[in-house]
Structure 1
């Protein structure tokens, strides 16, 4: 059975802006409240504020960026969040773009795969009290958090390509994807997760897909919604490569050189950005379950960007109702 969760569809500037979305998880059948890395406010603090306001819900960080915090501090933040909310936490991590790595470290990771493998190993060691120190190429970690009973913490890894999926298969509890069509998951990522898990002699991690979506409406333009949601990703070569491998017929040439509307409509036609009636969207979401996804996170950032947070909240309510969860 696939769980359905919700993504906070913007970076809150004030913590109370988070509360309507935490309320959706509290009062409906939504499984978990997710947020990505914020560059204005941090998701850990927003989730803690929601807990203090009475909305103690399971949370997911999808994903926070490795160059921004040491593995011990990442483990401590995850542990603090689990104890503050009293609920389970999925602490997802990713190496970020090469530009971000250079900005934070002075140079990009020579091997993002090695950096990610070391990072997850170090975070888990800090959480579980593994006595061996990690002295890797990118991270040194010998600290341990004092053992204290608390809610479950699962470690996630953001995956876009099969090689990173294999690392997730070896080490992660959850593989987290963003903008990945169901076809790409089924053909490329899920098999790679299984291969990595087999090598490590462990079960394959759960799969969480963060899926951009919007419902039809008289005031709705699917191309504008897709651009508002994922226009930045259309300019990144590794995302364009993934989308094409996932069956999305992006026009030739770079995003900057092509027609933005045509590029965005390719996302819609290729079911990377799901757009349609509630029934049509529900049928498209079923493809993710068939691909092996355990949790689908409904991402309505396009609606929030063009029509505001209240419209985004109503959109999520309608989607959850169509799925029998509200």
Structure 2
């Protein structure tokens, strides 16, 4: 199992010390570093900046928002980053949720799976550069056939020759159909709330996608599953769990609209519906400290690695037999170093 770093979202500014941590991780042989975006920092710029100070570590977006850019613009960013980094880019894509998509990007959140399928098709056309890009889909048409268009558009081919026509594309997915779609059309899956306890169930969803996978796609043996896993090293398990509770409370109670929170749905599937109801109610009432305190330690330990290094070394054994190929550490430099020592 490989190790990566998930740098997460920026808050008011860049994460303190992250550049030095990534440089150190590159020297340690850590496999990859990943960035996120929602409605603050973007996912590509930090990778270009941090990537300029590294030589080996792979550079992944987890995730670049599909609704934030046209497919061709995303392909341009990915192939540019791939050239600058010497072939280290991984394009991780995701659809976010209706609050962000409609509130920030100003796009209707409709049929996200179908949109994702079209999006990936177009990105691959750009990267393959076999012919001028043309597409006539429900969501994307190239050239456009919008009523207000001039009608002068023409199919174009990237002026830049992509470094890798097979630049890997990964999909962030939480629901069963989304997971299957990742296995069908992508080169990897980016799960947020993975637990070894439900590994068999996750594998079933992946198998459904592999069964529909086109023969020209990369081998399923090369398919990657890069799971974001909070890691907190501390002698006291409860105090370590306290560092993860705000993250879970936010995703359960504060991300997404009522009845349309896909992160909450994922927690329900893990078996924590009752706790999630309480967290959601407290969060909506503005009682955030109580919402954080309501996150069960059992839930934290299901999706994270917390406690003394010896306990984490024992707990990570359950992850080794799962479908996960890369464990993306969400934590400080101590967490990354501890996981590198345990799995190195």
**Which residue of the other structure, out of 316, 331, 337, is the alignment partner of 1:317?**
337
Alignment of 1:1-326 (within 5 A): 2-11=1-10, 13=13, 17-37=17-37, 39-53=39-53, 57-104=57-104, 106-131=106-131, 133-141=134-142, 142-146=155-159, 148=161, 150=163, 153-184=167-198, 186-202=199-215, 203-204=219-220, 205-217=223-235, 221-235=239-253, 236=255, 237-248=261-272, 250-251=274-275, 253-258=277-282, 259-260=290-291, 261-269=293-301, 271-300=302-331, 312-324=332-344
Please identify the structure whose Cα radius of gyration is greater: 2
Tell me how far 1:93 sits from its aligned partner.
0.6
What CA distance in whole angstroms lies between the structure 2 residues aligned with 1:241 and 1:292? 21
- Unaligned stretches of 5+ residues in structure 2: 143-154, 256-260, 283-289
Which consecutive segments of 4 or more residues in structure 1 shift more than 6 A? none
Contact 2:29 2:57 in 1 (8 A): no
Instruction: State the secondary structure of the residue aligned to 1:297.
Output: strand
Instruction: State the secondary structure of the residue aligned to 2:235.
Output: coil
Tell me how far 1:217 sits from its aligned partner.
3.4
What CA distance in whole angstroms lies between the structure 1 residues aligned with 2:334 and 2:141? 46
What CA distance in whole angstroms lies between the structure 1 residues aligned with 2:272 and 2:308? 21
Tell me how far 1:54 sits from its aligned partner.
5.0
Change (3 A) 1:191 1:57: same
Instruction: State the secondary structure of the residue aligned to 2:177.
Output: helix
Deviations 1:277-314 (A, max 9, x none): 223223333333322111111111xxxxxxxxxxx123
Deviations 1:61-86 (A, max 9, x none): 11111111110110111111111111
Deviation larger for 78-87 or 192-201: 192-201
Cα RMSD over matched residues? 2.7
Instruction: State the secondary structure of the residue aligned to 1:34.
Output: strand
Deviation larger for 151-160 or 112-121: 151-160
Deviation larger for 160-169 or 243-252: 243-252
Tell me how far 1:226 sits from its aligned partner.
1.5
What CA distance in whole angstroms lies between the structure 2 residues aligned with 1:239 and 1:320? 28
What CA distance in whole angstroms lies between the structure 2 residues aligned with 1:84 and 1:16? 25
Change (3 A) 1:284 1:140: farther
1:304 is matched with which residue? none
Change (3 A) 1:254 1:127: farther
Deviation larger for 313-322 or 63-72: 313-322
Tell me how far 1:147 sits from its aligned partner.
5.5
What CA distance in whole angstroms lies between the structure 2 residues aligned with 1:56 and 1:4? 13
Deviations 1:153-186 (A, max 9, x none): 20111010110111112210111111222233x2
Q: Normalising to structure 2: TM-score of the pair?
A: 0.80
Tell me how far 1:16 sits from its aligned partner.
8.7
Tell me how far 1:250 sits from its aligned partner.
4.9
Aligned residue pairs, count: 310
